[in-house]
Amino acid sequence: MSNLLKFPDGFLWGTATSAHQVEGDNLNDWTEWEKENAERLAREARIYWQPWQQKKFLEMFSPENYISGRATDHYNRYEEDFDLAKVMNNNAHRFSIEWSRIEPEEGKFDEKEIEHYRQVIWALKKRGIEPFVTLWHYTNPIWFQKKGGWLNKNSPKYFERYANKISRSLQNVKFWITLNEPDDIYAFYAYYTGRYPPQEKSFRKTWRALNNLVSAHKKAYRKIHENCPSSMVGFANNIIYFESKGIIARIIKIFANKYWNFWFLRKTFSYNDFIGCSFYRHNTLSSFKVNQNENIETTDIGWEIYPKGIYYVLKELKKYQKPIYITENGLADAQDKYREKFIIGHLNWIHKAITEGVDVRGYFYWSLLDNFEWDKGFWPRFGLVEIDYQTMERKVRPSAQEYAKICKNNGLIT
């Protein structure tokens, strides 16, 4: 006898994308960085990735893999892609606006591009899909980067001007996400480890960028509410579940949660109407060692599949007493071997958290489409929809059909 694990009425079911990863033909700091670093990334693939990954994904050795180019051509095909989201019974979709399209020169706004995003929003709404608009998903206009990017003391004001223009122009949007993973992903990789542009390696610069991003979020929050008083505003926070084994590991976990998972949220707490929680990873701490996971099942990029982790993360977030949306949750799985199990597993644990009083109101699988995965390029396949990058043909994966049933039933059949 089957049983339905019902989610709350009005629960939002969707998928997520970001402009640079799917639109194609962008011109920003990332497109410039790609051209300068594609050959290096192709060479380093032999060092960075495991033999089984190298054997399975030969495209990682091609410099072209690291050039976003036309990506999935979503800029021109968004109607077709939203039809697929509708077939999946999605009632929400998260996407980002490309700042460099809107403000290609400092202080000069492109009304044609604003109209494009107005049409994107209309295309979602006429399909009964609620837009979640992200203002910034890692990429910066070239003029902004030339001024020092997020190290410039005026960067929060530049972002405020952009947020003001967009929220005044697109007032029929209810849900806004100012910044995507600003601290533990962007600032850490861009200014500390040097994996992302501008490839700095400085704690001092990391700290400066973080504080400017905090200020930018606060300023954008105020402007959006000034222009759209009834809107809901937050940011997307990437959160890792840290599991500790031993006294030393428990102490490290306290610091990891405080400074990795929740620092930005604490700094901006009063400037968030909801919490955006992006969850991908589990990290087992043992004494002073990190990433001591069992790795019984892993994704194509080597991340352990551990659905229970999202339950622990949500329980941690309960104390903040704000609505929670899962802004990203997904895996790289080219063969679609684990995706259905992955989604069902995570949703089971999300449902358990909800029954225990955690106010989760929506779930966005990452991603609707296969896409350009930053410094990894095109070979990791996250999409519910498979993309043939030669022909741009869309093909719905079997896991998407299962996700469609969940969305339609507003719950899991067990």
pLDDT one-digit tens code per residue, 323-337: 999 999 999 999 999
Residues in the chain with pLDDT values less than 70:
1-2
pLDDT at 23: 98
For the entire predicted model, the pTM comes to 0.97
Distances from the Cα of 295 to the Cα of 11, 340, 395, angstroms: 32, 18, 30
Q: How many CB atoms lie within 10 A of CB 52?
A: 11
Domains and CATH numbers, the chain: 4-413 (3.20.20.80)
pLDDT at 238: 97
pLDDT at 141: 98
- Per residue in 183-234, pLDDT tens? 989 999 999 999 999 999 999 999 999 999 999 999 999 999 999 999 999 9
Q: What percent of the chain has pLDDT over 70?
A: 100
Of 405, 412, 408, whose CA–CA distance to 347 is shortest? Answer: 412
Q: Which residues, other chains included, contact 264 with Cβ-Cβ below 8 Å and sequence gap of 6+? A: 182, 183, 184, 210, 213, 214, 217, 235, 237
pLDDT at 1: 52
Q: What percent of the chain has pLDDT over 90?
A: 97
